[in-house]
Structure 1
Amino acid sequence: MIRKLKNGRWEVDLWTDGRGSKRIRKRFDTKAEAKRFEQYALGRSAERKDWNPAPDRRHLSDLVGEWHDASGYRLKDGVKRKRKLEMITRLLGNPRADRFTASDFASFRQRRIEIDGVTENTVNREQAYLNAVFNELARLGSWDKPNPLRHVRKFKIDEQELAFLTQEEIDRLLVECRASSNPSLYTVTRLALATGARWSEAEGIKRGNLAPYRVTFNYTKSGKSRTVPIPKDLYEAAIQEVPFVSCSAAFRHAIRRAGIELPQGQLTHICRHTYASHFVMNGGDILTLQRILGHSDIKLTMRYAHLSPDHLRSATVYAPTV
């Protein structure tokens, strides 16, 4: 039998061959190790060997491989995430997993920021990926030691103001998109601006995603399909042009030619932010916007709440006349 002691350790108490036979009592730091010993002890028949479990000699790269084979392959970005994790293990020197510490990771992320020049947000994401490997393997019973990253705090990231295009900027942008040599750029840009879709979603639709007068986005980031209405003329243009050719590079050039300056990192989502911002400024409600954008967490949608006319009216300070 296995029981937890008051000091947090686990005790195995068993008779090797029923009552009257040799009794064994041993204590372990984890329940998984206690279970492993119990199975070992009960499985012995002829031989009588002292319990001396072999050390876990797996390296971080071994854990990454096991994680991917067990569950990572099912993720939409499973292959991409595995490559990222393999890169992280190489930069860490691929230590033995049971010797990898929080201090090792703290030194690693400091080097990433100071030497490699990555952002704090990037190392937070890398930490989340590695943390998920330990947690998932523990859930599957393949890792019986504490997660070495469990007490490592992520960097606190200041919320970045979301840029959006004014109507005058939208007009300039569409002029440049129409003049582009890319045959899909104009319609894809209009589609992204009219629906709040991510660029990859708008660029990747097929004929089956279109119906009068709406578009359905499948295989989204949240894993849920969503349908958004579109104007008749946009539907007719899209149904004639799909499938679209890749036009993200052409969009970047069109933004530059239109003289539009954007904060770093917001180019790919500028159409999405523009749709959401204008939706709220025109009186649209946050819950409807959440469904349109496909946000699984309302907190993401609330980033646009400060643009609401009601919000601005309620925030107006009363100024008495003299």
Structure 2
Amino acid sequence: MKNINILSKMFLALTVVFAFGSCETASNYEDETPSIANIAVSNASFSVLEAAAVRGGVAVTLSNPNPNDPSGDYTVFAPTNDAFARLGLNDETLSVLQKPFLTSTLLYHVSNGNLKSGSIMAGGTSTSALGVNRRFVSRGNDLFINGSKILATDVNASNGTVHVIDKVLIATGADIVQSAIALSSANVFIQPELSFLVEAVVYADLVEALSASEGGPNFTVFAPTDQAFKDLGTTLGLEFNQPSDIRQLPKDLVAEVLLNHVFVEGKFTSELEAGTVTPLGGDELMLGAYTNGVLSVKGQGNENAANMVIPDVQTTNGVVHVIDRVLLPNLN
């Protein structure tokens, strides 16, 4: 249940644009090649995508030719059911997401035109139908779009091409602070998840530092869930029942702890390596081995490492990885 509460909150949103509805409208194509929508409908591995497309209102769109491209084609990066399952999501739990967010995240998986695998190069980018660029990353022998591994390429459809990926893509279209606020105010999930983090950022006077500015730095942010802050309160012998309870701690201490979660240069999991990184707070963080698309992260003051529950959330000024533990600096 914990995974469903946390993961379902944000990933679902990304449910993938091409799964669209179980009822495809009549296509102008007369050949035997199925549309992108029909590929999802006819393949059991994409049943969650299908449900998301229906709920998000994009099923009809991807059943037909693309009116916004001369080719009439779309390119869709499609998460499998397993991709959703790793976030605790299935076709019955999509309702934890607000519909507008679900729709926009579906569009994040789609591009105008027909992008074949031969044109996908590490270091390159692709603009989504949401207007946000995704980037391609090479790691070992694998190719990724953001932090999602591309499992299969060039599945032909009558209205474009499908590439299969192992994780749901997530983008907010806002900077780090505004993204966290959206996640704490029921604009994304029915039940907010980062309320304590937003309260802590405001209390520590770090809103401006983490907000986007033209030409400003990009960041990687490890964002503790509400439960992570409640667990911290218990560890400290305090009760953090609501976000304002974080103000029981000295402001300088809260700022020091928060800066321990941020380092310059936004990186997806596909770009992170085991070893140490130096956050803005100064005390090194230890990243664990890259396993199944995620890494653990441990602060100098932590006995146990934190796990990523929602990795690779793209914002306009960096990448956010939601984690299940507050990363503590060396407070001795």
Q: TM (normalized to structure 2)?
A: 0.27
Structure with bigger strand share is 2
Q: TM (normalized to structure 1)?
A: 0.27
Q: Which has the larger radius of gyration?
A: 1
Structure with bigger helix share is 1
